[in-house]
């Protein structure tokens, strides 16, 4: 039996059956619970690594289960499953859920988030809430790749009511630019943080990212695809390899194709993009 386990809470047996294969494939022992109150009692004696908190019987939904579970095990990684609702996603961030997944649940996304949760260490303070309104969300994010992935997942859930392609465009652009901020501005220094804001209006989504670095100039950015000379379209890859940096460098170039407006400040340590709806 695996030494790692997940407490799967949902009142619907079909959910347990649908997720069973993916969770066992992740080498997890699955503890199936159908009632929220029973889950809380089991949590007192369970050493499970993760709880997937869906809708239990007797009105105990994932958010309520998250809040109650915090009082029993403050360090438990809880993934909340619930409806597509930006306010609930923001609530999950505020109450330090590891992640949020909208229903109906499908094995692929669940397995990916569980994989992230299993690999995460010292994760509880990676995302700090500065402003928690669905229409104006501001977060301070630790300069770690794991924090980027979690924050991008949250952003995608907040925008889940948009057309799938629009949601994907925003999420991909956000992840690329946030990764640039963490890598180049924060130097992957977990003591540093990036501040990011997501604003939603009736006609647009606006994202602002401000990193702790000294900035850059587009006149001298040899490590990025946006600076490749015409005769050498992959020159930035060679430069990044020489510096020992990860493959990539297409973040700005890619993001420009996905959003409608993209602006950097004078110092080059803050970027804003707009996607019109």
Rounded Cα gap, residues 193 and 143, in angstroms? 5
**Which pLDDT score, from 0 to 100, does residue 257 have?**
94
Domain 1-121 in this protein, CATH class: alpha beta
Backbone phi and psi for residue 275, each to the nearest 5 degrees, phi listed first: -120, 120
Give the residue range(s) of CATH 3.30.565.10 domains in the chain: 125-277
Q: What CATH number should be reported for the domain whose range is 125-277?
A: 3.30.565.10
Rounded Cα gap, residues 237 and 71, in angstroms? 48
Mention every residue, 6+ apart, whose C-beta is less than 8 A from residue 179: 145, 148, 248, 251
**Which pLDDT score, from 0 to 100, does residue 159 have?**
96
**Which pLDDT score, from 0 to 100, does residue 220 have?**
55
Rounded Cα gap, residues 79 and 101, in angstroms? 7
**Which pLDDT score, from 0 to 100, does residue 239 have?**
56
pTM here is: 0.86
Residue at token pair 């794991």: 146
HSE at residue 85, side-chain half, CA atoms within 13 A, is: 11
Give the residue range(s) of CATH 3.40.50.2300 domains in the chain: 1-121
Rounded Cα gap, residues 99 and 204, in angstroms? 25
Structure tokens at 73: 């095990």
CA angle 65, 22, 151 (to 5 degrees): 55
**Which pLDDT score, from 0 to 100, does residue 251 have?**
75
Contact 177, 252 (CB under 8 A): yes
Structure tokens at 39: 């889950």
Residue 76's CB is within 10 A of a number of other CB atoms, namely 19
How confident is the prediction along the chain (277 residues), in pLDDT tens digits per residue? Answer: 568 999 999 999 999 999 999 998 888 999 999 999 999 999 999 899 999 999 987 678 999 999 999 999 999 999 999 999 999 999 999 999 999 999 999 999 999 999 999 999 999 999 999 999 999 999 999 999 999 999 999 999 999 999 999 999 999 999 999 999 999 999 999 999 999 999 999 999 999 999 999 987 666 555 555 555 556 554 555 655 666 655 555 678 889 999 999 999 999 999 999 999 9
Strands (E), 10-49: 29-33
């Amino acid at each position: 039996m695996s030494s790692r386990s997940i407490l799967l809470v949902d009142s619907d047996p079909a959910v347990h059956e649908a997720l069973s294969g993916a969770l066992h494939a992740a080498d997890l022992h699955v503890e199936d619970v159908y009632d929220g109150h029973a889950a809380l009692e089991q949590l007192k004696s369970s050493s499970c690594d993760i709880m997937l908190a869906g809708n239990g019987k007797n009105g105990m939904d994932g958010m309520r289960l998250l809040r109650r579970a915090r009082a029993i095990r403050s360090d438990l990684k809880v993934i909340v499953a619930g409806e597509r609702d930006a306010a609930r996603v923001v609530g999950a961030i505020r109450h330090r859920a590891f992640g949020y997944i909208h229903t109906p649940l499908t094995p692929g996304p669940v397995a990916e988030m569980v994989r992230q949760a299993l690999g995460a260490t010292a994760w509880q303070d990676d995302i700090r809430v500065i402003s928690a309104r669905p229409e104006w969300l501001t977060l301070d994010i630790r300069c770690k790749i794991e924090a980027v992935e979690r924050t991008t997942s949250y952003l995608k859930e907040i925008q889940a009511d948009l057309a799938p392609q629009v949601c994907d465009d925003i999420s991909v652009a956000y992840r690329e630019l946030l990764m640039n901020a963490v890598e180049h501005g924060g130097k992957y220094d977990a003591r540093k943080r990036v501040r990011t804001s997501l604003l939603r209006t009736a006609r647009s989504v606006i994202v602002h990212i401000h990193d702790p670095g000294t900035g850059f100039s587009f006149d001298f950015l040899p490590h990025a695809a946006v600076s490749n000379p015409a005769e050498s379209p992959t020159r930035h890859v060679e430069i990044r390899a020489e510096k020992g940096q990860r493959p990539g460098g297409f973040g700005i170039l890619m993001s420009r194709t996905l959003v409608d407006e993209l602006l950097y400040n004078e110092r080059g340590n803050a970027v804003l993009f707009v996607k019109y709806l």
